């Protein structure tokens, strides 16, 4: 495999000159710089940034562990994080935990071995405390996004309980009483059912626990929802994620029914279908995330004196009439 010594020899320059030219640092005459870049390209040589990172102890990379690869909302936030961190000169390394704490552990270990400067993750559980402790000992800033499993670490979560409250209150205002809540079955995630129950209690409607259904993330629940809708006969549905919303539409289509539907996450396909949504403010989420991480990196502090827990409120966007 060709290395920088080979490039320097082929160009009749020192290794230091070849290194400066390829990293675009320091002074190298234009003639020599062009020659070195041309020879490197001809031989397929790529600068080993890891070697430089080991030398200066800084990788200029942010590690992000995404919990659900199928959740398009997460990917929309991720896209903006990549763009924003690039503005500050940071690259992003992405890994996926697939809602599995052991896989999350592997991701954490990989990011730590890659010497990332900060880690953003959506925790599956609180079973990886030892890796959290190692990160803090290494002064690596950590941030929990969408869930909070480690109280000593900063977190940014959307107040999904409030979102469920808005959705339920909206449907109740249109005289629906048997509202099914399709929520997530995960620890450490904002509790949607609390907001749902609050709205029903305010309207003096008795809470039917059978209408609160929780599911794990990652697999289609269309068949289960088809059975539940047919058996429980709800008159409206609140889907706690965009994937659950899609499954609810598929279930209703298979049954030949058309129930009012409110879905979390304001995605384009929901806009196209005119479906009322609980919009989670993407811009506010990624801006707060970048501000949190960059403040720590620029100050040289891995954490604030006390853990910062930010709750972002979603909003109801009414589209299709529920009359």
Residues 149 and 93 in one domain: yes
Give the per-residue pLDDT at 302.
84
Q: What pLDDT was estimated at residue 187? A: 85
Q: Which range has the top average pLDDT, 43-47, 52-56, 244-248?
A: 244-248
Whether 53 has a pLDDT exceeding 60, the answer reads no
- The pLDDT > 70 percentage for the chain reads 96
On whether residue 52 sits in a domain, the answer given is no
Residue 323 lies in a domain: no
Q: Is residue 15 part of a domain?
A: yes
Mean residue pLDDT across the chain: 92
Do 199 and 257 have their domain in common? Answer: yes
| pLDDT of residue 298 exceeding 60 | yes
Asked if residue 167 belongs to a domain, the reply is: yes
Q: Do residue 103 and residue 242 come from a single domain?
A: no
Mean pLDDT of 273-297: 96
Q: What is the CATH number of the domain that holds 228?
A: 3.40.50.2300
Q: Is the pLDDT of residue 207 over 70?
A: yes
Based on the fold, state whether residues 181 and 204 are members of the same structural domain. Answer: yes
Asked if residue 247 and residue 98 are part of one domain, the reply reads no
Angle at 130 between CA 99 and CA 100, to 5 degrees: 10
Q: How many independent structural domains does the chain possess?
A: 3
Q: Is residue 319 part of a domain?
A: no
pTM of this prediction exceeds 0.85: no
| 145 neighbors 122 (Cβ within 8 angstroms) | yes
Q: Are residues 211 and 308 in the same domain?
A: no
Structural domain boundaries enclosing 115: 58-158+283-313
For residue 102, tell me if it sits in a domain. yes
Are both 243 and 172 inside the same structural domain? Answer: yes
Query: Is the domain of 63 the same as that of 150?
Result: yes
Same domain for 203 and 264? yes
The answer to whether position 321 is within a domain reads no
């Amino acid at each position: 495999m060709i290395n920088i010594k080979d490039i320097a020899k082929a160009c009749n320059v020192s290794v230091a000159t070849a290194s400066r030219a390829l990293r675009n640092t320091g002074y190298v005459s234009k003639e020599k710089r062009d020659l070195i870049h041309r020879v490197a390209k001809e031989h397929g040589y790529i600068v080993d940034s890891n070697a430089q990172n080991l030398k200066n102890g800084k990788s200029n990379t942010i590690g992000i562990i995404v919990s659900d690869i199928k959740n398009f909302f997460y990917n929309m936030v991720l896209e903006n994080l990549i763009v924003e961190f690039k503005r500050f000169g940071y690259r992003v390394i992405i890994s996926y935990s697939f809602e599995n704490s052991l896989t999350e552990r592997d991701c954490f270990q990989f990011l730590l071995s890659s010497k990332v400067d900060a880690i953003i993750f959506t925790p599956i559980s609180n079973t990886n405390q030892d890796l959290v402790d190692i990160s803090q000992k290494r002064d690596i800033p950590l941030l929990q996004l969408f869930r909070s499993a480690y109280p000593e670490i900063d977190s940014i979560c959307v107040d999904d309980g409030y979102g469920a409250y808005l959705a339920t209150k909206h449907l109740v205002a249109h005289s629906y009483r048997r509202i099914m809540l399709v929520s997530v079955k995960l620890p450490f995630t904002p509790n949607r059912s609390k907001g749902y129950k609050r709205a029903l209690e305010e309207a003096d409607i008795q809470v039917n626990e059978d209408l609160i259904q929780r599911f794990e993330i990652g697999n289609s629940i269309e068949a289960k929802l088809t059975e539940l809708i047919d058996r429980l006969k709800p008159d409206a549905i609140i889907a706690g994620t965009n994937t659950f919303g899609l499954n609810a539409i598929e279930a209703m289509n298979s049954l030949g029914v058309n129930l009012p539907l409110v879905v979390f996450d304001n995605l384009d396909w929901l806009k196209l279908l005119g479906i009322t949504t609980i919009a989670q403010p993407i811009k506010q989420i990624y801006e707060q995330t970048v501000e949190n991480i960059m403040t720590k990196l620029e100050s040289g502090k891995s954490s604030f004196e006390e853990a910062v827990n930010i709750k972002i409120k979603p909003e109801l966007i009414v589209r299709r009439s529920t009359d």
